[in-house]
Structure 1
């Protein structure tokens, strides 16, 4: 059977559709809060899909290294569609919303760990022509970021001005995921499973996490990836609701698309800026994160519109560069049999950042600490991570 050099497109489409489903909930946060759900409850719903992401990442990645990419990735679009269905018909039920978020998270975890590895392998010989180093990582990062951004934009516009605001955005994703599920069936397997007598628990171990550069460069960047996103398009639009009461959902979608649009646009540039063995990209990402948190501190006091947009731009750039930096580092240090596992750990750590809105809301309610003070502390912490990365200037 002849190789299809465009087979990677089917996997990229599935990743895009699943990422769409993972982030379509975000601009609707202000809708649920406006309609009466407590702020902390809604922020916890945002975080709950991490409960699906992390196990799927940590188990799905190593399992795909053992059994192949197809068996683990093929169900992912269907799982995402199931989660979107629950969200579409569970707007008045917190348990249904929670279940939908967890399912969307599980699908996204599989897409990130297994789908990213599959896409990387389909982007190189013998499945495709020779490509530039890092092409697979770039395609994966752009598929994820594109899905996050387009999904949020469409959902926000429909929820603000379209019919069935609490259902239609999710139903569109159901259809998209089912199309992706049919197309991905044609993608070839890239990792032929080999007979082994090792226990499954041995496969779940990822020795490469002990790599010095992974600990001192990749993890300090990973910690901030989705903390950037959560700050820009979960916390700031909520704080700005009194200032944009005419169209709060559309404003939330605008900030989300701005953040992810900047993250998407910078990724091609980031690959060109990269210099293997240096800390150029990780250091640039953390510099932007620290700057963005400083801008968030400045914007969250007076609730300034233009500062909020500037915060989204800077944090979006930090997210995009950090995502590419982490994936490129992993691509260089991982062996074929632990690529998915190491990618899983990277994403699992990064997604903990979506707990930031709920944590900050609880701290604000229980201690009275203001958001400007908390963002200032986060800016200092990001600068501390930059100092840690600077100690590993050369591999």
Structure 2
């Protein structure tokens, strides 16, 4: 059989462009508030609708891809992402197209992460690739996903600031990139034989996982994947008040640095990963702790540069956790449950998106330093749980 080390690339680009579509909305929040008068409650609700579509799609998309194949579901996710952008392009006159688009974007992202990540992993191994590097599938999938999460808000923010039709053109650009990808991805081989029905136990990961190592090592670290990232670009910039008239620029820089560092640091995760312990996860959580401590110092000093440094370290923790958690998950999962367990992992990871909302709500009663102290304590407890779980449950357990 002819093999190519590039077969995985269109599948990886599928993750990139779906992630792009999911996050492009983030840079346009200020635009919708200022230019169209949408309330803070409205735009926050749009973010919540995204999560409402994403979590069920993650949980169902994984087992569905195990039973029905990776390619069809991934192509469907790209199509849903196109429809989401098309709906949001009409959001200038009414909030309803934005709500519909955000819901569709959440479903598209959930399906893509569950099915597309498994597809990239399988295309990065024999027989589809000769002599694949160890752990290449997890590293490639994580890099493609985080690259999309970074490119989406950066490109849409640049287009919205310096191009005409800021409420339309970012979405049109995303659609134009997705359409040719649908053709390229459709030419890829299917790596999972379609059974026509869900195998017995396909939805077991929706209830619980029999893998002690997943419960004891991956699960405690999971919420800190996106928890660290969202704290880096959504919480820390808001706590640095001494930025004068550069609030929007400062927030944009925090987003770019947080997510950019998350992409740049990922090759390191593969190098420190080992099957003999949870070293990669522990180093990742240690990086998050360092970023949180740096955030405390920056807030105390009201140092804008210190805040950006803290966001960068938190972004590095996010990128390291993304790869190391996927590596652990893919080692644990059997061939009949790779999609299901991947969906479960991403579900845990996306719980971290609730961190800014939880901190904002708790901020009604507590000061920022108290809240950051509580977050540090929670992260330290998670780190201790991962360390203990790693000793009790060896890889493959």
TM-score strictly above 0.5: yes
Q: How does 1:366-377 map to 2 (within 5 A)?
A: 367-377=364-374
Q: Distance in 1 between matches of 2:184 and 2:198?
A: 34
Q: Distance in 1 between matches of 2:218 and 2:331?
A: 12
RMSD over aligned Cα atoms: 2.3
Match of 1:381 in 2: 378
Cα deviations by residue, 1:55-102 (Å, 9 ceiling, x for unpaired) = 111111101111111221111111101111222221453332222111
- Residue 85 of structure 2 contacts residue 172 of structure 2 at CA under 8 Å; is this kept in 1? yes
Q: Distance in 1 between matches of 2:56 and 2:240?
A: 34
Match of 1:19 in 2: 19
Q: Distance in 1 between matches of 2:145 and 2:244?
A: 29
With over 3 angstroms needed to count, the CA separation of the structure-2 counterparts of 1:83 and 1:223, relative to structure 1, is same
- Residue 46 of structure 1 contacts residue 354 of structure 1 at CA under 8 Å; is this kept in 2? no
Deviation of the 1:253 alpha carbon:
2.9
Q: Distance in 1 between matches of 2:374 and 2:266?
A: 28
With over 3 angstroms needed to count, the CA separation of the structure-2 counterparts of 1:162 and 1:299, relative to structure 1, is farther
How many residues matched? 390
TM-score (norm 1): 0.91
Deviation of the 1:264 alpha carbon:
1.1
Q: Distance in 2 between matches of 1:167 and 1:94?
A: 14
Q: Distance in 2 between matches of 1:77 and 1:216?
A: 34
Cα deviations by residue, 1:226-281 (Å, 9 ceiling, x for unpaired) = 11121122233445577253461x43332222112111111111101112121211
Q: How does 1:26-41 map to 2 (within 5 A)?
A: 26-35=26-35, 36-41=37-42
TM-score (norm 2): 0.91
Q: How does 1:89-104 map to 2 (within 5 A)?
A: 89-104=90-105
With over 3 angstroms needed to count, the CA separation of the structure-2 counterparts of 1:101 and 1:145, relative to structure 1, is same
Q: How does 1:78-89 map to 2 (within 5 A)?
A: 78-89=79-90
Deviation of the 1:27 alpha carbon:
2.6
SS in 2 for 1:203: coil
- Residue 40 of structure 1 contacts residue 358 of structure 1 at CA under 8 Å; is this kept in 2? no
- Residue 230 of structure 2 contacts residue 356 of structure 2 at CA under 8 Å; is this kept in 1? yes
Deviation of the 1:325 alpha carbon:
0.9
- Residue 43 of structure 1 contacts residue 358 of structure 1 at CA under 8 Å; is this kept in 2? no
Q: Distance in 2 between matches of 1:100 and 1:238?
A: 27
2:389 is the counterpart of 1:392: yes
Q: Distance in 2 between matches of 1:51 and 1:208?
A: 21
Q: How does 1:1-395 map to 2 (within 5 A)?
A: 2-35=2-35, 36-194=37-195, 202-206=201-205, 209-239=209-239, 243=243, 245-246=245-246, 248=248, 250-300=249-299, 303-364=302-363, 367-394=364-391, 395=394
Unaligned runs of 5+ in 2: none
Deviates more, 1:372-381 or 1:112-121: 372-381
Q: Distance in 2 between matches of 1:164 and 1:261?
A: 27
With over 3 angstroms needed to count, the CA separation of the structure-2 counterparts of 1:257 and 1:26, relative to structure 1, is same
Deviation of the 1:284 alpha carbon:
1.1
Deviation of the 1:34 alpha carbon:
4.6
Deviates more, 1:154-163 or 1:101-110: 154-163
- Residue 74 of structure 2 contacts residue 111 of structure 2 at CA under 8 Å; is this kept in 1? yes
Q: Distance in 2 between matches of 1:10 and 1:95?
A: 32
Q: Distance in 2 between matches of 1:25 and 1:174?
A: 14
Q: Distance in 2 between matches of 1:81 and 1:241?
A: 38
With over 3 angstroms needed to count, the CA separation of the structure-2 counterparts of 1:244 and 1:52, relative to structure 1, is farther
Unaligned runs of 5+ in 1: none
Q: Distance in 2 between matches of 1:246 and 1:196?
A: 55
